[in-house]
Structure 1
Amino acid sequence: MNKIDVFTLGETMVLFQAEQMLPLEYVHQFPKQIGGAESNVAIGLTRLGHSVGWASKLGNDPFGRYILKYIRGEGVDTSSCLFTEKAQTGIIFKERLSPEDVNVYYYRKNSAASFMEPADLNEQYIAQAKILHITGITPALSESCYQTVLASIDIAKRNNMTIVFDPNLRLKLWSAEQAKEVFNEIATHADVILPGLDEGQFMTGKTEVEEVAEALMGDADKTIVIKLGSKGAYFHTKNEKAYVAGFPVSQIVDPVGAGDGFAAGILSGLLRNERLETVVKRANAIGAMVVGVSGDVEGLPTLSAVERFMDPISGSRDVKR
């Protein structure tokens, strides 16, 4: 059994991204890539030097085999992934009307991943990890997926793992009422919560950044990190709170996946036991790097690359010529 630092689970789809900035009906070429919040984070973490296990259920079809090979090829442990004959692997199309105007079209209803169930989880395997990473996408896929997320939380709590929750609100998958109820249920169990400001406002009904963080924290000892886009992020714990500025981006190529890169940066810093301000700063840098590259995972950096991005002058001295 492979030793892992982080365990995550969720759906990854085959991603067809339009090559041209046009409405989809006028696009004729779509390179094949992958897209999935949890696998994005898993790949981001492996590039930062960590060992990650990712679990899902894939269709026993060419797309399912492609996804497994791709993610395994990035160094992620996929030994917990299962194949099913019941359904096909999900597909997503990405439309780019401009660098800032990106639309996604899902073909994932009753997909293979929606058949994940608690019995698919291997507690002995999961329990060796330090962190459980979950998003709000997986419980939206089906009732059995929701129960699988709850089962993974139970495993994490029994084994003293840190639970990190990234809401990743997708209202195309379920109603706002359902999402809010489940998000807040999961948040009560989470040790670290990573919402965007709009997601935090959605969950709490509060408007201001500090009020959102306080509401999410409640009376518990949690770490709240709120993503603020180009402005950076705000973190709030029992003992400290601060805004951390973002990094300037000269050109936005593809904003999708930046939040997953940010999450990978946070998890990496937690595993390294770094100061929270340092952790958030690096996460901001990774998010800025990801938006400059087309694709969900293609822009995720190595640790040395992000350090050079954060400090290009001193970082360039370390490059051997």
Structure 2
Amino acid sequence: MAKADGLDLIAVGRSCVDLYGEQTGGRLEDMLSFAKYIGGSPTNTAVGASRLGLDAGLLTRVGEDHFGRFIREQLAREGVDTRGVVADPARLTALAFLGIRDPDTFPLVFYRENCADMALEAGDIDPAFVASARAVLINGTHLSQPGVFAASMEACRLARAAGGKVVFDIDYRPVLWGLAGKDAGENRFVADAAVTARLQQVLPLCDLIVGTEEEVHILGGSTDTIDALRAIRERTPALLVCKRGAQGCSAFADAIPDSLDQGVVGRGFAVEVFNVLGAGDAFMAGFLRGWLRGAPLAECCEWANACGAIVVSRHGCSPAMPTWEELQAFLRDEARPFRLREDAALEHLHWATTRATGYPSLTVLAMDHRSQFEALCERTGAAPERIAGFKSLALRAVDRVAAGDPGFGVLLDGRFGMRALEAAAAYPYWIGRPIELPGSRPLEFESSADVATELATWPANHVVKCLALYHPDDPQELRERQERQLLRLQDAARKTRHELLVEIIASRGGEVAEDTAARAIERLYALGIRPDWWKLEPDDRAGAWRGIEDAIVRNDPHCRGVVLLGLSAPQDELIASFAAAAQAPIVKGFAVGRTIFADAAEQWFAGTIDDEAAIDDLARRFAILVEAWRDAKQRAQTQAIRETA
């Protein structure tokens, strides 16, 4: 366990933005678009360690720029302590461009001239912060320049003085030592006596040293791995771990034998190599999860090998890191496919367990209506151009009620609500955005011919909302056509890394019995559709919600939850339906529109009220529903406690 009020691990060193080519199988010169992730070896390991359940922090510098803020925000989402992340106003955040050409070629270009993380200095290090951790992790890149060398050594000394451990990831990149051309970032080894001498200065402080065979060669000063390990052993009693790619690893706690196979070797895993970048950082995270928690050495090696195997199957470094639950599932599954990224269950588990913090509640003002606002303009004689203005008022109304609480949200469309969507970027609220063509049955998308192309233009925090007028007893041809569209949409949302909300309205297609919604959900789950959210019709039958919750929990226990839609129901009728829905923990709140905005919109478009009056009315009606939902939840929780007492 971590020290009281402290951390298991503090990683020190590189922190950058990775720009990963999204096209594979070609030169970096021919890649057209890039995915943005946080990167840098220590940063990747901190993320991996946090996902595996360790309390991890990072000690580095980032620029006081957009990318620096992105790194800090993403680290916070990952649960990594950022107290040691210093904002540098004089330097930019480092960048790295990466690509996947073939199983052996991974072009890599570093943009690290006078970058923020290489300006880390001993004065940036808070002794109390370092002393709070059980271990610090340093890496070889941050021994390459005097300032960062001094900072790394200071972190080691402070950790040792406080009784902590020192972990050394050799992390040798010749280009970052000036030993290779700037276009040779993927080059892993250039022999250099001066580098060896610099790296060896840290050895007396180390408790654990991890590296590939090439990295062992540079640290030991020999291209014979056994000889290099023995040279290292002469200078340190640390546990030595040599990563061996597809052969797993070998660990040496004492004297170095004549063969790598005579070390402690954890179970290896045969998977197709898609991307080796980041696998070593995942290996380190997996090993530290065991080592810092006192697991047997062979188990530490097995977890490390497994984490590396998972990451070599995926795009990216930090986003590919497995969670603890995911790692356990991987270790249990002996029937995993060789092409691991085709394991749908594991990929869904990865997605579901790496999302940002969950939502204990979510109350949303739904303003994504399009055809209804067009009809309102026709009825009142208002110009359609005014619709955008009213939707922007709705965002202000939500903010008045929410006052910064991220458990609130808005649903806004890109056709009439784009100005409000743009403004919403400055707020901490949940944002949903519709993709369906209003009223389409069978389902069609309001976008380009390729829905993935459309979603690729959306910011990452926009949740894709899709309304399907879907009944489980629809004619087979209609039902299957709609299902194909939902499957297509889910595939697009996963590939563009957007969360998905599926809204089901069955009442337009037939009678809604107590089990209708549950049967629709079961059917979609059976097809492999696993949305992050469901949006469902109100129902005053408790049995209906028990069936819905059972279907969701059995098929996807990681589902974020259900929000209720309003269907223009009168306020009192909608509030009355809250009582039954609130009894199901899976129901987190509501996403209601016309019940709240209908009267204000009618008057505002007719010119009988001004902006402030419209905001007042929207906020008042929204607040009434919010309080009613909270009251219903509180009553349901009180009743549940009484029943179990």
Task: Map Cα deviations across residues 124-159 of structure 1 (whole Å, 9 max, x no partner).
Answer: 11101111111101222x321111011111111211
TM superposition shift of 1:243:
2.9
Residue 194 of structure 1 pairs with residue 210 of structure 2: yes
SS in 2 for 1:54: strand
**Who wins on radius of gyration, i.e. which is larger?**
2
Q: Which residue of structure 1 lines up, in the alignment, with residue 378 of structure 2?
A: none
Instruction: Report the Cα distance in structure 1 between the residues aligned to 2:29 and 2:263, rounded to whole angstroms.
Output: 47
Paired residue for 1:150?
153
Look up the equivalent residue of 1:243 and give its one-letter code. Answer: V
Residue of 286, 290, 314 corresponding to 2:311: 290
Q: Secondary structure at the match of 1:294?
A: coil
| Distance in 1 (alpha carbons) for counterparts of 2:121 and 2:235 | 32
Is 1:272 matched with 2:293?
Answer: yes
SS at match of 1:102: coil
Amino acid at match of 1:228: R
Q: Which one of the candidate residues 110, 116, 121 is aligned to 2:120?
A: 116
- Is the aligned partner of 1:136 residue 2:152? no
The 1:242–1:208 alpha-carbon spacing in structure 2 relative to 1, beyond 3 Å, is farther
Structure 1 residue 204 displacement after superposition: 1.7
Deviates more, 1:237-246 or 1:193-202: 237-246
Looking at structure 2, the residues matched to 305 and 237 of structure 1 have their Cα atoms a distance apart, in angstroms, of: 29
| Residue type of the alignment partner of 2:213 | L
User: 2 CA distance for matches of 1:184 and 1:320?
Assistant: 54
Rounded Cα–Cα distance in structure 2 between residues aligned with 1:91 and 1:119 = 24
The structural deviation recorded for 1:245 is 4.2
Q: Distance in 1 between matches of 2:209 and 2:287?
A: 10
1:223 equivalenced with 2:245 (yes/no): no
Question: How far apart are 1:207 and its partner, in Å?
Answer: 4.7
The 5 A counterparts of 1:41-190 are 41-140=45-144, 142-174=145-177, 175=179, 176-190=192-206
- Name 1:238's counterpart in structure 2: 254
Q: Aligned partner of 2:323: which letter?
A: T
Q: Specify whether residues 105 and 314 from structure 1 end up closer, same or farther in structure 2 by C-alpha distance, changes over 3 A only.
A: closer
Residues in 2 aligned to 1:92 and 1:54: alpha-carbon distance in whole angstroms: 19
Return the offset for 1:210.
4.0
Q: How far, CA to CA, are the matches of 2:242 and 2:554 in structure 1?
A: 38
Task: Report the Cα offset of residue 99 of structure 1.
Answer: 3.3
TM-score by length of 2: 0.47
Q: Which residue of 1 aligns with 2:228?
A: 212
Letter in structure 2 aligned against 1:8: A
* Separation in structure 2 between the aligned mates of residue 320 and residue 301 of structure 1, nearest angstrom: 23
List gaps (5 residues or longer) in structure 2.
180-191, 256-261, 337-344, 346-552, 556-645
- TM-score, normalised by the number of residues in structure 1: 0.92
**C-alpha distance in 2 between matches for 1:187 and 1:305:** 34
Secondary structure of the corresponding residue to residue 298 of structure 1: helix
CA displacement at 1:289 relative to structure 2: 0.4
Query: What is the deviation of 1:272?
Result: 1.2
Any idea what the Cα deviations from partners look like across 1:230-279, whole Å, max 9, x if unmatched?
01111111289333342101x22211000001111111111110110111
**1: CA distance, partners of 2:234 / 2:30:** 49
Residue aligning to 1:6: 9
- Name the stretch that deviates more: 179-188 or 63-72: 179-188
Verify the 8 A CA contact 1:169 1:179 in the aligned structure 2.
no
Letter in 2 for 1:139: L
Q: Superposition RMSD on alpha carbons, in Å?
A: 2.2
Q: Percent identity?
A: 27
1:248 alignment counterpart: 270
Greater mean alpha carbon deviation, residues 237-246 or residues 130-139: 237-246
Aligned-partner Cα distance in 1 for 2:61–2:122: 12
* 1:305 matched to 2:305: no
Find the residue that maps to 2:273 and give its secondary structure: coil
Q: Where in structure 1 are there 5+ consecutive unaligned residues?
A: none
The structure showing larger relative contact order (alpha-carbon pairs under 8 Å, at least 6 residues apart) is 1
Do the aligned residues in 2 keep the contact of 1:89 with 1:112 (CA within 8 Å)? yes
Deviation at 1:296, TM superposition (A): 0.6
Is the contact made by 1:308 and 1:314 (CA closer than 8 Å) also made in structure 2? no
CA contact (8 A) 1:217 1:223 kept: no
**1:33 and 2:43 aligned:** no
Distance (whole Å) between structure 1 residues aligned to residue 18 and residue 235 of structure 2 = 41
> What is the deviation of 1:310?
1.8
Preserved CA contact (<8 Å) 1:8 1:54: yes
- Deviation string 1:2-60 (CA, Å, 9 cap, x unpaired) is 52111111121111111112222222211211211001111111111111110111111
Q: Work out the CA distance in 2 between the residues paired with 1:314 and 1:169.
A: 35
What per-residue deviation string (whole Å, max 9, x for no partner) do you get for residues 151-190 of structure 1? 1111112112111101000111114343211211112221
How far did residue 209 of structure 1 move?
Answer: 4.2
- Report the AA paired with residue 225 of structure 1: V
